[in-house]
Amino acid sequence: MSTTTDRRALVIGASRGLGLVLADELARRHWHVIATARRGGGELHARADAWKGRLEVESLEMTSSEQLAALRERLDGRRLDLLFVNAAINLDNQPIGEVPTDVFTEVMVTNALSPLRVLEALRGLVVPGGTVAVMSSSQGSISRNTEGGYELYRASKSALNQLMRSYAARHAGDGQTKLLIDPGHNRTELGGPDAPLAPEESIPAVVDVLEAQAGAPGLQFLDLHGETVPW
């Protein structure tokens, strides 16, 4: 792990919402941050300008294998203490039997398949003792699903968690900390305007967890308070 003043992070999916606040919070704590967005301009670029070199912006459509390979090539030779994948969509809240196949596919590819493709493509940039983390959700917890609702979103996050467990098993000896993070229910485009948390409240707590867990072995599924979320 790098020294406190030389820590390096890559945040995938930082153009808005939780990812944007995460990139900003890491920069505020003196991390050097590379953050990705699908398109140029916007708030992420404005914050990068404000941080004067501490925050870089890269272009990435996470679901594109070609763009992911190009990003890996551009970052060749860089070394990371933290790789954090933040990406999720929710396109349909109907019972699963009423969800169109194309919508099911898009949500699963975005929320479950693509984050693991990112980890596989970029994990070689992460130093031994570094951290690979993915933004999950307590809605991906099977044991906590007692009320139903949001069936496709829940299923995509459960699939993400299962794939992350397989990833952790395959790479158990790489010396990297592996985390699934539940940031709580936030007021974002995904979480809606009535959610109880603002990203500016939850994300500093999430970064506290990331920093506290650095170097810890194995895979953990933790909430923003560092408490274990049941599978």
Q: What is the pLDDT of residues 71-130, one digit of tens each?
A: 999 999 999 999 999 988 999 889 999 999 999 999 999 999 999 999 999 999 999 999
Q: State how many domains the chain has.
A: 1
Residue 228 domain flag: no
Residue 172 domain flag: yes
Residue 231 domain flag: no
Q: Which residues, in sequence order, are CB contacts of 124 under 8 Å at separation 6+?
A: none
* pLDDT value, residue 196: 80
CB atoms within 10 A of CB 163: 17
At 119, which helix (H) or strand (E)?
Answer: helix 114-122
Six-digit token pair at 230? 């049941």
| Host domain of residue 121 | 4-223
**Is residue 191 predicted with pLDDT exceeding 90?**
no
Residue 230 domain flag: no
* Rounded-to-integer distance, Cα 105 and Cα 173, Å: 32
Six-digit token pair at 68? 């992911």
* This prediction's pTM: 0.95
Give the mean pLDDT of 60-73.
97
For 127-143, how does the pLDDT look when each residue is reduced to its tens digit (9 = 90+)?
999 999 999 999 999 99
CATH of the domain at 20: 3.40.50.720
**Is residue 3 predicted with pLDDT exceeding 60?**
no
**Is residue 153 predicted with pLDDT exceeding 70?**
yes
**Is residue 5 predicted with pLDDT exceeding 80?**
no
Six-digit token pair at 82? 């933290």
* pLDDT value, residue 101: 97
Average pLDDT, the chain: 94
DSSP label of 111? I
φ and ψ at 184, to 5 degrees? 85, 180
For 158-176, how does the pLDDT look when each residue is reduced to its tens digit (9 = 90+)?
999 999 999 999 999 999 9
84 with 10: CB under 8 angstroms? yes
* pLDDT value, residue 9: 98
Residue 229 domain flag: no
